[in-house]
A and B are shown apart, each in its own frame.
Chain A
């Protein structure tokens, strides 16, 4: 559920240069998918590879990323892996990545491709954070409300974080709509603080009388 969330919390470790390269491959893969009218299938397969298969077989991930493994061996591995199971476009994409020694950033390419696909479809990634877990119908209702308020299509993800005490925090892109109890309390605290400083400065308080 919270894949996009992990990508956000991992943002602190983003390698900007690699991300930029990944974006280029992602666009190429999407366009190739469009040409062969199998974009969704390609995206799904690549995501499955990057997020489900490779973490389970770390040796394969290492072999993919390592420049020590010759390109033709990687190609053979990809052929073996893809034969009959994956669409030809996916296999080709993997081949291209292997040839250029970019298989190591496969997960970045997938993430970039998903972002691009969302952008094209007019969808925005949204993370809903609540203090307690929500039921499916509540989730649907909140998403519909927020979509209406922002007049945008959302790709929702839900996170539970008791630290916000109550309320709801929605993150769409880089913008956060925060109506959590903890933020309200912080703001109230800040206001009281300011108010008192002001009162002391203007001599409104008669502390010594």
Chain B
């Protein structure tokens, strides 16, 4: 005990001896009014837009509106503790969050404070929340694929590292599931993942975190939470702070993936702030710069040039539509900013097609450049085929007389739809995807019953894994499907079909005997 006392005393003595009582210079203002997460401040005449200010008790704010006689401040913290007449200090700094390896595996609030009860985030590395996006010269084209592990996405709307792919759809159509699956699939790829939950129910966020933990994804994932009960200012900055944390890895030559779940809630929070600040409302009462709010956020996702280390930040923003209305203000804005969208439809979802992706209007503007050669070869044209199948299907329901060619296209389409169904939290390896889609698009499933497609696929993938591992290894290493691999694959399919038929005959025989 005596030793401890000495230790503390020596630390105190050392600190005091080193303490220089310099002049504390600060610029101050006074709170005129406060409420709903914002404060109007008198004074602070030298404060700059976006500068961090400090309220008593260490609560921070952000200078948001600079007016002739007052400053509008958004309060990042408990605004109920700020009262009229409080002194506000300008800090001369921008808002920043902790970054680096220390934030990996953590659940944080938008200011970088821990929410998971695992102690403080110990790091000296910080990054400003709002930074400029890399310019034209600092980027290189998106070429490398980012595998989501979802057959439908990887085959039809491939996502490249550095791309922004929007996930859009009504409520309960599996938008979050795609984001979470994409994160789970990054397990051995070295991609750092960030899941930004804005305006979500805390129960949903808890489920998402639990899922990530269960599938071992929290080892490389950071969750930034600003739930439905947090004040609008925090919901507004959450995507920016998540991006700042992710950018750190991009600028250090690594790869990162960020899921914004969802940006419509962020736009709503921003609308609330802007209206409280008396900025003029525009369409749907959103402020005029809501487009800029999203574009400056999503522009920060990039693939950097070789000179800058070649890191990348891929983003999957999520937008929730109302009754499939994609022409509302925020959806059109974000569609125009991103490099493509995955459109999820409720009727497909309820018809059992999950992921409920509408192949016709889902696109990826990066396209085949972000696919492996093997995948490009087997999946080329799949999206358009599927889209035309949907048209044909609607048409075929009118009459029964169909010519053989049409019937054949329909049969192929039904089987492709079956093949693209995939369970949640079951990401698939790229080679497996190539093998399945090859079998489907080359018509090897045409003679399989629709309800047996899933079973056939499972059996076939196990067969290849167990009996022709050299084929898998060949495709895996070359990422290509050359003539030799294709020949082996054809042979493997024929052999599998033979074995399956034999097994089926045996089963039928046994059933008949009994």
Contact A11 B24 (CB under 8 A): no
| Interface residues of A, count at CB 8 A | 29
Since A175-B46, A178-B23 are in contact, a sample of 15 more A-B pairs with Cβ atoms closer than 8 Å, ordered by chain A residue number, is A12-B30, A12-B32, A16-B32, A16-B40, A16-B67, A16-B70, A174-B29, A175-B26, A176-B26, A178-B25, A179-B24, A188-B19, A192-B15, A195-B11, A195-B15
Contact A205 B7 (CB under 8 A): yes
Q: List 5 A-B contacts (CB under 8 A).
A: A12-B42, A174-B45, A178-B26, A179-B24, A192-B11
Cβ of B426 to closest chain A Cβ, rounded Å: 40
Contact A188 B16 (CB under 8 A): yes
Using known A-B contacts A12-B31, A192-B12, A192-B15, determine if residue A174 contacts B46 with beta carbons closer than 8 Å: yes
Cβ of B8 to closest chain A Cβ, rounded Å: 9
Cβ of B41 to closest chain A Cβ, rounded Å: 10
Mark out the residues of chain A between 150 and 209 whose CB falls within 8 Å of any chain B CB in the assembled complex: 171, 173-179, 183-184, 187-188, 191-192, 195-197, 199, 201-202, 205, 207
In whole angstroms, what is the CA distance A183 to B40 when docked? 26
Cβ of A195 to closest chain B Cβ, rounded Å: 6
Contact B25 A176 (CB under 8 A): yes
B28 at the interface (CB under 8 A from A): yes
By a CB distance below 8 angstroms, the chain A residues around B27 are 174-176
In whole angstroms, what is the CA distance A20 to B67 when docked? 11
A40 at the interface (CB under 8 A from B): no
Q: Which residue of A lies closest to B122 (CB)?
A: A201
B5 at the interface (CB under 8 A from A): no
A19 at the interface (CB under 8 A from B): yes
Using known A-B contacts A19-B69, A20-B68, A191-B15, determine if residue A14 contacts B26 with beta carbons closer than 8 Å: no
By a CB distance below 8 angstroms, the chain B residues around A195 are 11, 15
In whole angstroms, what is the CA distance A19 to B32 when docked? 13
B21 at the interface (CB under 8 A from A): yes
Using known A-B contacts A12-B31, A191-B19, determine if residue A173 contacts B45 with beta carbons closer than 8 Å: yes
| Interface residues of B, count at CB 8 A | 34
B85 at the interface (CB under 8 A from A): yes
By a CB distance below 8 angstroms, the chain B residues around A207 are 4
In whole angstroms, what is the CA distance A160 to B7 when docked? 40
By a CB distance below 8 angstroms, the chain A residues around B21 are 179, 184, 187
In whole angstroms, what is the CA distance A202 to B29 when docked? 37
Contact A178 B24 (CB under 8 A): yes
In whole angstroms, what is the CA distance A19 to B42 when docked? 11
Contact B11 A199 (CB under 8 A): yes
Cβ of A146 to closest chain B Cβ, rounded Å: 11
Cβ of A7 to closest chain B Cβ, rounded Å: 11
By a CB distance below 8 angstroms, the chain A residues around B45 are 173-174
Contact B29 A12 (CB under 8 A): no
In whole angstroms, what is the CA distance A20 to B22 when docked? 38
Q: Which residue of B lies closest to A201 (CB)?
A: B122
B482 at the interface (CB under 8 A from A): no
Closest 5 A/B residue pairs (Cβ): A12-B85, A178-B24, A184-B21, A174-B43, A11-B30
Which of A171, A187, A199 touches B24 (beta carbons < 8 Å)?
A187
In whole angstroms, what is the CA distance A106 to B120 when docked? 55
In whole angstroms, what is the CA distance A171 to B28 when docked? 9
In whole angstroms, what is the CA distance A196 to B26 when docked? 26
In whole angstroms, what is the CA distance A193 to B468 when docked? 64
Using known A-B contacts A173-B45, A174-B43, A179-B24, determine if residue A16 contacts B69 with beta carbons closer than 8 Å: yes
In whole angstroms, what is the CA distance A156 to B124 when docked? 43
By a CB distance below 8 angstroms, the chain B residues around A174 are 27-29, 43-46
B84 at the interface (CB under 8 A from A): yes
Q: Which residue of B lies closest to A202 (CB)?
A: B122
Contact B30 A183 (CB under 8 A): no
In whole angstroms, what is the CA distance A151 to B4 when docked? 51
By a CB distance below 8 angstroms, the chain B residues around A19 are 69
In whole angstroms, what is the CA distance A80 to B190 when docked? 87
Contact A177 B25 (CB under 8 A): yes
By a CB distance below 8 angstroms, the chain B residues around A175 are 25-28, 46
Mark out the residues of chain A between 6 and 36 whose CB falls within 8 Å of any chain B CB in the assembled complex: 8, 11-12, 14, 16, 19-20
Contact B32 A201 (CB under 8 A): no
By a CB distance below 8 angstroms, the chain A residues around B16 are 188
In whole angstroms, what is the CA distance A184 to B28 when docked? 18
Cβ of A75 to closest chain B Cβ, rounded Å: 31
By a CB distance below 8 angstroms, the chain A residues around B85 are 12
By a CB distance below 8 angstroms, the chain B residues around A188 are 15-16, 19
Contact B19 A177 (CB under 8 A): no
Cβ of A180 to closest chain B Cβ, rounded Å: 8
In whole angstroms, what is the CA distance A174 to B31 when docked? 13
Cβ of B54 to closest chain A Cβ, rounded Å: 12
Contact A177 B70 (CB under 8 A): no
